Chain A
């Protein structure tokens, strides 16, 4: 139980998707102009990561890994399908996003229209595929661990985008040098936020 909690905290703060690995930067930079939309996108990312990482974990465990097909027949002991993992993972993610899109459209049209184009774009958000690939690389031991990693990464991403959106709303009133306005200053602020988040590095979990 404690292990699971540790993984969660670690993936929110220490291994933050944005500040430590720069994943999902494209939508992070494009959607962070106002707090409202970034909250919506952040929640969608938490949700999609929370679903796709466990699903991809099961796929990896029972189909793709070396010897994973043994439950089917002892003869498949040496089969290693892990080279297929990119294409399997991305297929799962694309279909999950489609599913989420339909559910949101049905139950919350307001959220759907405010997210607009960004919902389908989650399919190509690097943070989502990155979550699955990190899950595979770090070899989590159980489904619960994988789920907590997925949710934790999502929450970390959520925190990052809401934070930068809040700062960008304020910075509109500041006198930024002209060529730095917009993209440039956002990069530099993200860098500074990343330095702040590095203070979590010393925590031993």
Chain B
């Protein structure tokens, strides 16, 4: 029992904690590394699909990072992309089947975007950049951190778009009826795809003006 506890403490060393917290802020996969934009934007018109998508991506990044890291010494350099894709694709099939079984309506809304987790650059990028050269446990944490970094942006965008676009959150009405009586209107523009891009642009703007070291030279 005591040995197990000792090992736990080292598992959450300062270095591992940084792996978890960096992707949430200054190393965010979406706003800084520019990974995984593809599926991030299309599912954010409502909060619920955004949440389900985030959870799926977190699961896939975590597990694939860990698996590839465990296999990293046995993978020949030349065919590593195919090996990685097979591992990711199998995990995504699992996630897809689970979603179809338990939250069928959300799975229908997400349509092809669940399958597109396979080509989500976050998963691939973390495998290449981290899992291929690190041990399984840090890789798992790195996957979790990047998944969470992806998740908060998705949920923030989904929150803004659903609140202002439909006046609801998670499908429940938030904006009270009396507002509408005074002439408040839902901003239908928020539901449309281009707004997702503009909101992410604004998130990047806010983040960079608070962290000047992230500002790009042109």
Interface positions of A (Cβ within 8 A of B): 19-26, 29-30, 83-87, 90-91, 94, 120, 123-130, 133-134, 137, 172, 177-188, 190-195, 198
Indicate whether A22 sits within 8 Å of B208 (C-beta atoms), given known contacts A83-B97, A90-B85, A90-B118. no
Interface size class of B (residues with CB under 8 A): 35 or more
Contact A133 B93 (CB under 8 A): no
Which of B38, B124, B194, B216 lies in contact with A25, CB distance below 8 A?
B38
Indicate whether A126 sits within 8 Å of B120 (C-beta atoms), given known contacts A29-B34, A183-B34, A198-B194. yes
Chain A contact surface mostly: helix
Indicate whether A133 sits within 8 Å of B112 (C-beta atoms), given known contacts A22-B42, A87-B90. yes
Chain A residues, Cβ within 8 Å of B40 = 22
Q: Which B89-143 residues have a C-beta within 8 angstroms of A?
A: 89-90, 92-93, 96-97, 111-112, 115-116, 118-121, 124
22 pairs from A and B in contact (CB 8 Å cutoff): A21-B193, A22-B42, A26-B121, A29-B37, A85-B115, A86-B92, A86-B115, A86-B118, A123-B81, A124-B124, A126-B39, A134-B112, A178-B209, A179-B215, A180-B205, A182-B216, A183-B204, A186-B201, A187-B204, A188-B201, A191-B201, A193-B194
Contact A128 B119 (CB under 8 A): yes
Contact B197 A187 (CB under 8 A): yes
Indicate whether A124 sits within 8 Å of B119 (C-beta atoms), given known contacts A20-B193, A29-B37, A183-B31. yes
B80 to chain A, nearest CB (A): 11
Query: Does B156 count as interface, using CB distance less than 8 angstroms?
Result: no
Contact A126 B195 (CB under 8 A): no
Task: Give Cα A41 to B93, complex, Å.
Answer: 29
Chain A residues, Cβ within 8 Å of B206 = 179
B161 to chain A, nearest CB (A): 13
Indicate whether A137 sits within 8 Å of B209 (C-beta atoms), given known contacts A94-B81, A172-B218. no
Of the candidates B42, B197, B209, B215, the one having the most CB atoms from chain A within 10 angstroms of its own CB is: B197
Contact A181 B37 (CB under 8 A): no
Task: Give Cα A133 to B117, complex, Å.
Answer: 12
Task: Give Cα A11 to B137, complex, Å.
Answer: 44
Chain A residues, Cβ within 8 Å of B93 = 83-84, 86-87
Query: Does B198 count as interface, using CB distance less than 8 angstroms?
Result: yes
Nearest B residue to A21, CB-CB: B42
A141 to chain B, nearest CB (A): 19
